Structure 1
Amino acid sequence: MLIVEIVLMSQNIFTKVFNSQFVHIYDRSHADPLKALQSMNRLRVPWISSFISKNTQVRPDRPLEGNKILDVGCGPGILSLALGRLGAEVVGIDEVQSAVNLAQKSSFTLSPELRSNTKFVSDTIENFALNEDNHHFFDAVVASEVAEHVADLNLFVKTCCKLAKPNSPIFFTTINKTLCSWIFAILVAEDILRLLPKGLHEYEKFVRPEDLRRLLVDEQCRLGHTRGMFYNPLTDHWAWTDFTGINYGLVAFTKPY
């Protein structure tokens, strides 16, 4: 039971995998850190789609057509491209240029039509939000495996809300701050099994669901559900669970205007 993240900010897994300090560790000592993220798509993509699908009758192969989605901390585009294949217009942002380059390269797996609707930008969410044209622009904002790495969670949540349209969903998947999460996400994943680079996680930055919900309520968001997420590394399979003590997903909706 662990989570393998691509994250925003300087603690991004692409920073730690591809910079000079961690690249040799990744190459020689660790399992593929992207494997669990790829399999997570089988859980998070239907979850996201269930809240924003518009065209299931007209284009069942493109149920997200007509939706603009912001993928915060997109990394190599694993989630962005999956949403793009369903017809969404996706903007993926990540401050790590090497991750964005890989995402752009991977976008060629899409058809030319879908690829034209998928854009990747090397930037922080704070800088991205300085452009007022981006305010209240997106039909959905996704921050998957990001919140537990940001330096200022309050600012991060405020910015996500600022970029979403009124009454639109904001999705988070992240790690709870519990003894179980420390054991599995740090001790087991980094120190024992060495599935992740040591030092990737900081327990102090893990996010309790009640703290995330409080910040969203402060932004006058309407709270949706919070669901636990379970990962079995032996089968590379994710499932929803009632237990939120390690990984969880949360959806909220921005205030209507």
Structure 2
Amino acid sequence: MCTKLLFPSIRNLTIKKDTVDSTEMKHFKKLADEWWDDKGPLRALHSLNDLRIPLIRDRLIKIGATGGHEGKSVSVLDVGCGGGILVEALNRAGHNVLVTGVDANDELINVAKIHAKSKNLSLNYECTTIEEHAIVNAQKYDVVVSSETIEHVTEKQQFLRSCIQCLKPGGSLFMTTFNKTWLSHFAGIFLAENVFKCIPKGTHEYDKFIALNDLIDLLKKEKCTTIFTSGIFYNPLTNNWFLSRFNPISYALHAVKLC
């Protein structure tokens, strides 16, 4: 029988030794000192919490995944957690949410731990790849979140397989990422990185973007069915994110692991 989720939670991020890109690692290490500056180069990532936390909460309520035994916690994995921006937001989402953040970048995990300590938060961070984590944590989590991560991964099928391996049967996978269109190239790289500078220059490579239908197909191969998709839109002038019927630039996805 499928395991029911108990509370809205979000995100996971990780990459394996085979899927970790050394160039990507170096790029994000350069941002370590500015990770928690919500007015700095990662301001768009900070404000994305205002969209993804309610989105995941509402989606879990929608599928009836917030019920369960009183007092039972919901386990959430944030894959590719970086410096902990989403992990801390998930931790604030409810007293019964237990969040683990994993990332292969040791400097960013250190940033996450230091920031949590400064806020007197006891959070679980691990410097590891998703593939390594999945080996000893199979079917452990109610929710896995991979937000703004898969576009930095080359071996996407392997990455997804490991994320889903960590999910309990009936568990939910949430993802946000760029679509692969000429418009995502123009808006997500040229405008965002070079004109509005709301994303650090060099953060994205168009060749690593993945089309929505291609991601759905990859998930289906891993026995995960997609039950919700939505376009997401960012306004760089106001630093706000919105759900949208328009998805050629970015999208959000909710999939469920089959029993």
- Is the Cα contact below 8 Å between 2:152 and 2:204 reproduced in 1? yes
Map 1:125-136; keep pairs closer than 5 Å: 125-131=130-136, 134-136=137-139
Question: How far apart are residue 17 of structure 1 and its match?
Answer: 4.3
Query: Which residue pairs with 2:129 in the alignment?
Result: 124
Instruction: Please report the TM-score for the alignment, with normalisation by the length of structure 1.
Output: 0.82
- Indicate yes or no: 2:92 matched with 1:81: no
Query: Which residue pairs with 1:54 in the alignment?
Result: 66
CA distance in 2, matches of 1:240, 1:189: 18
- Specify whether residues 108 and 176 from structure 1 end up closer, same or farther in structure 2 by C-alpha distance, changes over 3 A only: same
- Indicate yes or no: 2:48 matched with 1:40: yes
Question: How far apart are residue 130 of structure 1 and its match?
Answer: 2.5
- Is the Cα contact below 8 Å between 1:12 and 1:149 reproduced in 2? no
CA distance in 2, matches of 1:178, 1:77: 29
CA distance in 1, matches of 2:55, 2:22: 26
Query: Which residue pairs with 1:198 in the alignment?
Result: 201
- Indicate yes or no: 2:27 matched with 1:16: yes
- Is the Cα contact below 8 Å between 2:225 and 2:256 reproduced in 1? yes
CA distance in 1, matches of 2:186, 2:205: 12
Question: How far apart are residue 48 of structure 1 and its match?
Answer: 1.5
Work out which of the residue numbers 209, 226, 233 in structure 2 matches 1:230: 233
Q: Which amino acid is 1:75 matched to? A: G
- Is the Cα contact below 8 Å between 1:94 and 1:100 reproduced in 2? yes
* Percent identity (aligned): 36
- Specify whether residues 89 and 215 from structure 1 end up closer, same or farther in structure 2 by C-alpha distance, changes over 3 A only: same
- Is the Cα contact below 8 Å between 2:32 and 2:108 reproduced in 1? no
Instruction: Please report the TM-score for the alignment, with normalisation by the length of structure 2.
Output: 0.81
- Is the Cα contact below 8 Å between 1:14 and 1:98 reproduced in 2? no
Task: Spell out, residue by residue over 1:145-197, the C-alpha distance to the aligned partner (whole angstroms, 9 max, x if none).
Answer: 01111010111111111110001100110000001100011111223334434
* Uncovered stretches (5+) of structure 2, i.e. residues with no partner: 1-12
Aligned residues: 234
Query: Which residue pairs with 1:166 in the alignment?
Result: 169
Q: Which amino acid is 1:102 matched to? A: V
CA distance in 2, matches of 1:125, 1:230: 28
- Specify whether residues 221 and 127 from structure 1 end up closer, same or farther in structure 2 by C-alpha distance, changes over 3 A only: same
- Is the Cα contact below 8 Å between 1:14 and 1:99 reproduced in 2? no
CA distance in 1, matches of 2:84, 2:248: 27
CA distance in 2, matches of 1:239, 1:210: 21
